[in-house]
Each structure stands twice: as structure tokens, then as C-alpha cells.
A = this chain, B = another copy of it.
Amino acid sequence: MAIVLGHNQYGKAEVRLVHVGAGRELVDLNVSIALSGDLADAHLSGDNASVLPTDSQKNTVYAFARQHGIDQIEDFALLLARHFVDSQPSITRARVLIESYPWLRLGEHSFQRAGAETRTALVSYDGNDAHVLSGLSDLVLLNTTDSEFAGFIKDPYTTLPETQDRVLATAVNARWRHGSETSDWAASYAAARDLLVAAFARTYSRSLQQTLYAMGSRVLEHRPEIVEVRLSLPNRHHFLVDLSKFGLDNPGEVFVAADRPYGLIEGTVLREGQPAADIAWAAPWSF
């Protein structure tokens, strides 16, 4: 059987862009681009006639920031994705991932980084349709109670005791798909984020799976512009320390925060009958 080229993509990753607006508002982004199209010659013979250099992609990010300014990251990602496909005959698909780092204003021109939490936008555009995913990562949440884990399978390798009260903690990684290419992105993001947090905090949890579903469905119930939510929730285990060896009880007070291993709970919550959008969800890079 002949050997052939399959799916491929290329682009500039992690372009670090800081934009200071007219009102001294601060936007701090990490922009990654992946382009696909008629690139067989570059692979097979080293003919680069269809290759827009990744360096030019980087330049475009900086130039567009000056030409168009940056308000919402979804719009800036759409602008970039459409530019590459619409201006380059050889490029038939563009995906743009933007991570936005939050800052807190301290004064007219002074700012403080506001945590590890990152807002994201991931846009895919094929010349006709654009899919927009908003999201966030590394939002770390913890409940000290109202979490249990019991009634699970006991196989020969099960030693975990059932518990009616445990600490539940996770770092929320979430993406949600919008039903259309336009929205009030800022309001939608703020609302979706609040709904995720509220669902985590207020769900009496019998498993992190149940909490995950509560988080995703809460967003869909209240935000009609969102059609699908995907969540990846590491279970950051907090183990109660056995202090009985020292003559001490430990009524839910002293815990060890473990690093590895960790549970990883992932799931999709979506509106029934919604057309699939695999292209929207493909990871920006293969692995």
C-alpha cells in the first residue's frame, strides 16, 4: 500500500501579546494559530509556495491588535481565523486559540495579576462556518463538606471506604460552544462562569460526576446562546490524616492535599438534537 500524507496543520503557537487601550485598560493574551489546507507540496517536495510563514502569522497578531484593537477575545480570534482563510488561497481551515490572563486595576495605570484562572476562546473557521468555543481553565474550587462518595462497585481491588463527608476540590477546565457566530461575549462569559461556580458550590455532591453534570446543565438552562458544555475536572484529593497513632481524633479538620495520582472526570452536556461539531472540538494540536 502506498504511503500518503493525512491530516496536517501548522502555525505559530503562544504569541504573547499585551495591549494597552486608550483608557489604559490592559489586555494580556497568549495566541496560538493552526492552519490547514493545500500543503501537500511542502511535505512531499519541500516546495513552500503555499506556506504562509509562522513568523508572518505572529506579525499579523501584533498588527491586527493595533489596527483593530482588542475588545472580546472571541471576536479577535474570529478576526484572525477569517483573515488567514479568506486571504490565502492555500489555507482552507484556521483554528485560533486565545488564552486571556486576568488583571485587577489598582489605579489609573497600575494593575495586579488576578490569579491563575484563564479565560479562553477557541475558534474554527473553514471559509463558510465559524464555530466559537468560550471557556476557562485553572479555576480552582473547593467545598469543605456536602460531598459524599458511596454505593460504588466493590471489586477485588477495592479498598476505599465509603464516606458520607469529604472535601471536594477541583480545577475547572471548561469549554462551551455557542450556537452562532455572534454574541455578547462579555456578558455570556461572565454569566457562564458564575453559573459554573454556583453549581459547584450549591450542589450536594454524591460524586464529582454528578457535580460535573450539574455544572454543565446549569449553564445550558440559563444561557440559550450556549448549546454544548464540556468539562474536565481533576479530582484534587484531600485525604483525612489518621492521627489516632498520636492519640488524636481528626473530625474533618486536618487533610493532606495530594498531588498524584488524581481522579479525572470528564463529560459533555448538550442540548438534544444539536448537530455535532467535531471540528469545533478537535484539539488545536493533535496531542
Contacts and interface: CB of A to CB of B under 8 A. Distances in A.
Residue of A7, A47, A67, A157 with most chain B CB atoms under a 10 A cut-off: A157
Interface in A177-221: 197, 200-202, 205-207, 209-210, 212-213, 217, 220-221
B155 A56 contact: yes
Given A153-B90, A254-B62, A257-B28, A53 B160 contact: yes
Interface in A25-70: 26, 28, 32, 34, 39, 42-60, 62-63, 65-67
Given A259-B260, A270-B4, A19 B197 contact: no
A270 B207 contact: no
B157 A63 contact: yes
* Copies of the protein in its oligomer: 4
Contact of A209 (B26, B42, B152, B254): B42
A152 B223 CA distance: 45
A283 interface: yes
Interface residues of A, number: 142
Contacts of A261: 12-16, 54, 58
Interface of A: 1-21, 24, 26, 28, 32, 34, 39, 42-60, 62-63, 65-67, 87-88, 90, 103, 106-107, 109-116, 139-146, 149-153, 155-160, 167, 173, 175, 197, 200-202, 205-207, 209-210, 212-213, 217, 220-221, 228, 230, 232, 234-235, 238, 241, 243, 245-246, 248-250, 252-274, 281, 283, 285-287
15 contacts: A6-B270, A8-B266, A12-B263, A19-B253, A19-B255, A20-B253, A49-B153, A51-B153, A52-B152, A56-B153, A57-B157, A59-B157, A103-B142, A109-B143, A259-B259
